[in-house]
Structure formats: structure tokens, C-alpha cells
A = this chain, B = another copy of it.
């Protein structure tokens, strides 16, 4: 429906050259007579020429477009990631096509397939799960460059950019201990994603071998990365005989909901309970009190993801590369003044 009418032919004719020469000028491919080049450029701009992307892609097998699939566009952390990647791509004149997997492995597979068909030059994926997302990702990786972002998928032999979750959790626990907290509870997500898995594992290791079974002593509560779970977990804690000194949340989205629920119940944060979280979303700075949270260097991570994509495009058989960034802790009022 939508589309240009002006073609290279028109430009060539107007400039009095062959379509080949016109194309050469327009794509800066080979050197051409300056005078002809001038005429082509003039004709091109006068006619308002824009190359038909489909014809070009059909011919060159490239699109200057990168695809990105995230688990949910309503999670602000992924939006921040998308924005960072888009900024990065803009620098090299490329654009991003964004797809939402809606937390469904099936939708995710469809979206990945869609993007591969659209011949994106590369694909950045934040997998919905660590296991079930693997087949679609591997199929895509067979066709071209794929980089996993933030979460890895098990056994997927693709490049990866993420941050050190164990270190992030260590920052949380060290900070709380320095403020005198003894009893600490972790409220996170079930280990269906690599981030949920790593953060939970790190917490348990940091807390010592006290509990053997999976949170049998009540020091860890696992649900989803969602508002609902934050509310639910808070209620569970409120139902206990006594509250812990501090709560470590696996993500801001959980923490914000948990915080609201605790305060609604009259619990003073940070006086009675301190709360620390992960992601450092703007959202966490709107709460009262504002959240102490682990920040990942998302711009650097986005840049690295694009770099890996380009590197892989150049050397398809290079060994798999994993880039792990160090997070930092941003201290705010939720862990005391």
C-alpha cells in the first residue's frame, strides 16, 4: 500500500546515466566520475528518491535492521534495555524492530521466527525461560547472529551479555549486614530464568549452609517477577510471628509491590524492615521510601550486545563469547538514612 514511486530508473534517466551508475552513486559502492555523481545526487534529491527496502534486501540479503525480543514490554527493565540498544544502533544508522513475547514461550518462538524471516541482520533475545526457549533460539542462531541479553538460555550455544548476579546479591547482603541486619529474607522468582536462578542461588550461598532444603526455613520465598507476587509475598511475611530485619527482592517490580503492601499494613520501612532490590528502575524512586537497588550498566551492556552481533556476523564460526558486567548498589532510603 505504502511506497515510493520514484525508482533508480527515474533517477538514472533524469541524470542521463545508466541505472548501474546511479546505483553506484547512491550506495557509495565504487568511485564514479564526480560530475556524474553530482548529477545523480541532484536528480535523486529533486525527485525525492528513496530506495525500495524490499528490492534492496532481496538483492543484498541485508536490511540494516536488528530484531529484539523481550519477555514483556510492560516490565520497565526490558524497556530500559530496548532503549539502550536502540540508542546504540542509531549510532551506526541501523534500526530496531521490537517484539513482545508476552511471557509465552510459544509467542516468543513465533516472534523469533518472524524476525528471522524478515532477515534482520541480527537478533537480541531476552529469553522467556532458561530451558523452553532454547529450540527457537538455536534455530535462529543457525540462520544468523544471535545474542542473548540479561538472561541466558541453557545449552544455547549463543553469545551472551549479562551481569554478575552473584556479585549483585553479595552487594545487597553485605550492605544489609553492615547496617546490622541479622535475619534476612529473599523474595524472588522461581528458577525458570537464569537471573532468578542465579540470584536465588547466590543468596543461599551468602546466607551460609543454614538451610538445606529449598527455603524450608522460610528464608526464601519464590514466585514470579510480577506485581501480584510482590503483594502475595508481603502478605505471607505479614502473617508470620515476626518480621525479618530485611528483605532482598529479586527485582524492583516485586519490591515496589511488596513495599506498598507492607506500608499499607503499617510497617515502617526502613525502621522496622529494610528493603533492597534489583534493577534500579525509575519506578523504585517514586515509592516512599525510595528503593535501594542494584544497578546494571545497561548502556555498556547494550553496546556490547551490538558489538557481539557485528563480530559474529564477520566470523560466524568464532567461539561463543559471554560478557559479564559488574553491577553496583545504589543506596537510597529503603535501607535507612
Contacts and interface: CB of A to CB of B under 8 A. Distances in A.
Interface stretch (A176-184, A188-196, A256-264, A324-332): A256-264
Most B-side CB within 10 Å, residue of A256, A263, A287? A287
Interface stretch (A75-83, A126-134, A214-222): A75-83
A95 interface: yes
Contacts of A95: 99, 114
A225 B260 CA distance: 24
Contacts of A144: 1-3
A122 interface: yes
B288 A260 contact: yes
Given A58-B52, A79-B73, A79-B74, A1 B121 contact: yes
Interface in A252-296: 256-257, 260, 263-264, 282-283, 286-288
Contact of A257 (B4, B120, B286): B286
A203 B29 CA distance: 59
Given A53-B119, A263-B288, A1 B62 contact: yes
Contacts of A249: none
A97 interface: yes
Contacts of A256: 286
A57 B53 CA distance: 10
Nearest to A287: B260
Given A1-B145, A282-B227, A288-B260, A117 B50 contact: yes
Nearest to A86: B100
A119 B76 contact: no
A175 interface: no
Interface string A106-148: 0000000010111111110000000000000000100111000
8 contacts: A1-B313, A3-B143, A54-B58, A74-B76, A83-B100, A86-B100, A260-B286, A264-B288
Interface of A: 1-4, 50, 52-55, 57-58, 61-62, 73-74, 76, 79-80, 82-83, 86, 95, 97-100, 114, 116-123, 140, 143-145, 227, 256-257, 260, 263-264, 282-283, 286-288, 313
